[in-house]
Amino acid sequence: MLGFLRCFNYFSTKGGMNLNTNRTKKIALTGILAAIAIVGSLFSFPIFGSRATPIQHMVNLIAAVLLGPWYGVVAAFIASLLRNILSLGSILAFPGSMIGAWLAGVAYQKTQNLFLASLSEIVGTGLLGGLVAWPLAILFLGETAGSITFYIYILPFLVDHCWDSDRNFGY
């Protein structure tokens, strides 16, 4: 996947498509990436109280690198919202995907390093998203889900991402 990002980044900066100046193209690509995340959520597996969707992490990273942190957050929010409406996800889809996309985008803007952006997406989704998922589970999923310690939410988020990361880190 990092090879795809490098290739796309090369062509976008060499005059083929300038994503930095054309807002319409950014909005269109955000919608396309959100659609890919929704279709990719058909390939998911349950882990404890959440549903792991590894394609979402790939979309988060692509959106964060190509479009920036805020468009990445918008793509993650749209994908999470539609996945919930279509019963392909739970309320826990929001914190992990949105925090992961934002953190990856900020890391890439600051460093221009794909590896650090990938690592930031893992931290944002797995650790921070898992911590934020705990109060959401108490609030929206009831006391039985909330009575489980918040570590049970960090583990599935990290496993979900690590399943996809072996492809992300392979240069």
Q: What is the pLDDT along the chain (171 residues), one digit of tens a residue?
A: 555 556 555 555 554 455 556 888 899 999 999 999 898 888 877 666 566 777 888 898 999 999 999 999 999 999 989 988 888 877 777 888 889 899 999 999 999 999 999 888 888 887 787 777 777 777 776 656 555 545 555 656 666 555 544 444 333
**CB of 14 within 8 A of CB of 75?**
no
Q: Could you identify the residue written with the tokens 């739970």? A: 90
CA gap 127, 39 in Å, rounded? 25
Angle, helices 151-168/54-67, rounded to nearest 10 degrees = 70
C-beta neighbour count of 156 within 10 angstroms = 21
pLDDT at 154: 60
pLDDT at 148: 56
Pairing mode of beta strands 50-52, 45-47? antiparallel
